[in-house]
Amino acid sequence: MQQQLRIGIAGLGTVGGGVWKHLHTNAELLLQRTRTRIAITRVAVRRAERAEALGVAPELVTPRWQDLPEDPNVDVVVELIGGTTDAYELISRSLKAGKHVVTANKALLAECGEELFALASRHRRQLLFEASVAGGIPIIKALREGLVANRIISLHGIVNGTCNYILSQMSTTGRTFEDVLADAKALGYAEADESLDVEGHDAAHKTAILAALAYGFWVPMHQVYTEGIRHIEQEDVKYAHQLGYELKLLGIIQADSAGAVEVRVHPTLVPREHVLASVNGVFNAVYVRGDIVGDTLFYGRGAGADATASAVIGDIAEIACMGPDAARCRGVGFDALYARVRGIEDIHSRYYLRLEVSDRPGVLAAVASVLGEHQIGILSVIQPERDSGKTSVPLVIMLHDAVERDVNAALAKISRLEVVKEDVVRIRVETFAKK
């Protein structure tokens, strides 16, 4: 017997418009696969002309998102308005009113996910969020279902297409950050205010969600170490190539046997032979290591109307397929082994350092002496010849594995050396070694 699932959409922007379009275009395919007729019965949009341009029937349109939770002809509310104020109220009211919810709102889930999933559980409703991380890549379902038998050892993600485009272009064209950023804006890959992307906050929200799925507890955002790419200079990209690396903004999540979990986002040198080094442009990828399955890679478009709409519609279809079982809320699974976050000062990593130093004998020995005092070994050194007329030269040093706290202490002392002329540039290096 054919069933019907009635959908209310809040927001008809890039993603909302894509959801409207593809729910209609693939209506018969979805009916065949879910045995449920999925019908849009209400659309909340601030600008009626946007709905008109998409062909939404006027009787379905309301300017008030508040009408969706109150509408008895809506079974599922799709929240695509963004932000953390109205979106929070919409999701909360919808769950309390007995509606299932589908959202792409990574910022809201990162900040309030624990509370909202508890609310969904109390009201026996679904809160699905595949589109919140990595667009059309089904990484949420993979962690919740396909890898459910695994303890996640580590997860490394390129989850912001804007930053990946900028760093890829800097790598292949030799242009500066500011030049490539201007192109990204012209192409629509970056917003007019690029700070959410390039300062790492968007990637941090997504990484926090993945950490909750992987380890079963929500990490407060202030405990997610976040560093963006605005300070990356072309000469660091050049030296990375000489050393055999590509530069990527990574979200890194990994656990130790004592129950501590690292959750951090920052520019990272990735070995050029590693699969993540070849992920370029606006594409995203998530590299997951499980204790049973080993290494797996999830790759695809991380943003855009079609990729994100695909994930949203996938969640709607999942609710349609559940039928009566949809009352069983699927939140974040708990794993008693993991309970705390390891701070950035306690991590172990390799490091890339670039110093601007006086061009005279004994400089490397002075720097090496400070590193030695903190039990930090040097892996390799690049000392380019100085340009004519300059009294200082770059000194590039690769460090062995070290504790971040020790590196910080050493850099504080190195920066005070008379021979060091500028702030030291430090970039973490990922080897993907099994620990």
Per-residue pLDDT of 203-230, as tens digits, reads: 999 999 999 999 988 999 999 999 999 9
Distance between CA atoms of residues 394 and 64, nearest Å: 59
DSSP strand pairing (348-358 vs 425-429): antiparallel
CATH number for domain 3-138+305-327, candidates 3.60.15.10, 1.10.260.40, 3.90.550.10, 3.40.50.720: 3.40.50.720
Q: Please tell me the CATH code under which domain 348-429 is placed.
A: 3.30.70.260
Partners of 357 in the β-ladder:
393, 420
3-state SS class at 150: coil
The average pLDDT across 70-76 equals: 96
**What are the tens digits of pLDDT across the range 366-418?**
999 999 999 999 999 998 876 666 778 999 999 999 999 999 999 999 999 99
91 vs 220, 232, 265, 384, CA distance in Å? Answer: 20, 38, 28, 57
Q: Which pairs from 239-242 meet CB under 8 Å and 24+ separation?
A: 239/352, 239/354, 239/382, 239/394, 239/396, 240/269, 240/352, 240/427, 241/171, 241/272, 242/382
The residue with tokens 């008693």 is: 336
Strands (E) in 257-391, as ranges, are: 260-271, 283-290, 294-301, 340-341, 348-358, 378-382
**What are the tens digits of pLDDT across the range 146-187?**
998 999 999 999 999 999 999 999 999 999 999 999 999 998
Give me the pLDDT at residue 302, please. Answer: 81
Distance between CA atoms of residues 103 and 119, nearest Å: 15
Distance between CA atoms of residues 280 and 158, nearest Å: 10
Give me the architecture of the 139-302 domain, per CATH.
2-Layer Sandwich (3.30)
Catalytic annotation, residues: 206
* DSSP category for residue 146: I
The whole model's pTM is what?
A: 0.92
| Model confidence band, residue 200 (pLDDT cutoffs 50, 70, 90) | very high
Distance between CA atoms of residues 36 and 53, nearest Å: 28
Distance between CA atoms of residues 93 and 36, nearest Å: 25
164 vs 172, 189, 216, 246, 283, CA distance in Å? Answer: 12, 10, 28, 11, 7
Q: How many CB atoms lie within 10 A of CB 147?
A: 20
The residues spanned by each domain of the chain are 3-138+305-327, 139-302, 348-429
The DSSP code sequence of 3-41 is: EEEEEEEE--SHHHHHHHHHHHHTHHHHHHHHSEEEEEE
Give me the pLDDT at residue 303, please. Answer: 78
